[in-house]
A = this chain, B = another copy of it.
Amino acid sequence: MTFTVNQEIAQFQGKLAKLSHESTSTKTKMDVNVFLPAVALKSDVSNGSIPVLLYLSGLTCTPNNASEKSFFQYFANKYGFAIVFPDTSPRGANIAGEDDSWDFGTGAGFYVDATAKPWSEHYNMYSYVHFELLDALSTQYPQLALKDNISITGHSMGGYGALAGFFKNPGKYKSVSAFAPISNPSNCPWGEKCFGNYLGTDNKDAWLEYDPTHLVKSYKGDASDILIHQGAQDGFYYKDHQLQPENFVQAAKDAGYKGEVDLRVVDGYDHSYFFISSFVEDHAKHHAKYLGL
C-alpha cells in the first residue's frame, strides 16, 4: 500500500503529486496523479476534511493527459477539493495482444474486473479505481475525505466508468458527471470489443452490470443531479454512435430517476481535451455543491 512519490509539482497554488504503487488488483505497478489544493497543504489541516473528485480518463490516456490538459486543478483549488487521476489500465502485464489496438488492452481497461482469461489475472480496474486505490490513498493523504466525501467524473471511457461506478455503489459517491461518456457500452463497438474480451462474449448479462443505461433502471440509492456535456461535432458521437448519451437520458427518465439528468450537447465542440477544459468549470461547480463546498 506504499506509494513512491516520483514528482511533486507546484501548480494553481496547490500541488500535483505523481505517484506509483504496486497494485494487488492488477498485480502491476500503477501510476496515479493526485492534485492537492492549497487548503489541503496547510499545516493544521484536519484528517478527512478535504473533499475529493475521482477523475477517470478515456482510452489511451495515462494520468498525465488530464493533469496537463484538463485545467480541472484551477477550479479544484478555487473550491478546495482534491483530484485523483488514475491510469486507464494495467501496463506491462505481458499478455499477448494487449498492445495490438488502441481501444482494447493497454490504455483501455474499461473499468471492469475481467472474468475471462487471460485478462482476469490483471485487468481488474473496477476494483482498483473504486476500492484499492482510494483505500491506499487514505493512508498516504489522511487529510483527504476518500471514504465519505467523494464524487466522480470522467471522459469518454472514463465518463462511462464514472456513471457505472456511481450506480453500482449507492452512497459511495456524492455526485457524478461526465464528459462525452460511452453511455450505453453494451450497445456500441468500443463496449462490445472490451466487454466481449474482458467478460466473455457468452455472458452478456455481465455486460449489463457495467452499463449505465441498464444500471440506472434498477438504481435505488440517493439521486443527485447528473451533469453530462457532449460535443455536437464529436465524430465518436454523431458519426460512430459510440457515446449515445440520449440512451442513458431516456433510460433514466423511464426508470423515474429522481435527480435531474442535465445533458448539454454543445455546438462546435469535439472529443478532445479542449472540449473538456472548456467545461470543467461547470463540473467543478456541480460537484462542489454536493461535496458541501
Question: Is residue A68 contacting chain B, with contact meaning CB distance below 8 A?
Answer: yes
Give the distance in Å from the alpha carbon of A16 to the alpha carbon of B233 in the complex.
15
Is A13 an interface residue, CB under 8 A from the partner? yes
Q: What's the tally of chain A residues with a CB closer than 8 Å to chain B?
A: 24
Decide if A290 is an interface residue (CB 8 Å cutoff): no
Question: Is A218 an interface position by the 8 A CB rule?
Answer: no
Cα–Cα, bound, A278→B272 (Å):
22
Return the contact of A74 from the options B233, B272, B277 (Cβ within 8 A). B277
CB < 8 Å neighbour of A11 from B12, B15, B267, B274: B274
Complex Cα distance, B15 from A69, in Å, reads: 16
For chain A residues 10-48, which have a beta carbon within 8 Å of chain B? Answer: 10-13, 15-16
Structural contact, A277 and B10, CB atoms closer than 8 A: no
The residues of B that contact A219 with a CB separation of less than 8 Å are: none
A68 to B68, CA, bound (A): 8
A10 & B274 in contact (Cβ 8 Å cutoff): yes
Shortest Cβ distance from residue A229 to the other chain B in the assembled complex, whole angstroms: 12
Q: CA A150 – CA B284 in complex, angstroms? A: 33
Q: Given the complex, which residues of B lie within 8 Å of A269, measured CB to CB?
A: 10-11
Contacts of A273 in B (CB 8 A): 68
Query: Are A274's CB and B9's CB within 8 A?
Result: yes
A71 contacts the other chain (CB 8 A): yes
Once the chains are docked, how many angstroms separate the CA of A74 from the CA of B273?
13
User: Is A209 close to B, CB under 8 A?
Assistant: no
Interface membership of A268, Cβ < 8 A: yes
Sort A-B residue pairs by CB-CB distance and give the 6 closest, nearest first.
A10-B268, A11-B274, A10-B269, A12-B278, A71-B71, A11-B278
Chain A interface (Cβ within 8 Å of chain B)?
9-13, 15-16, 68-69, 71, 74, 231, 233, 266-270, 272-275, 277-278
Jot down 10 A-B pairs with beta carbons below 8 A, ordered by A. A9-B270, A10-B231, A10-B233, A10-B270, A11-B274, A12-B277, A16-B274, A68-B69, A68-B273, A69-B69
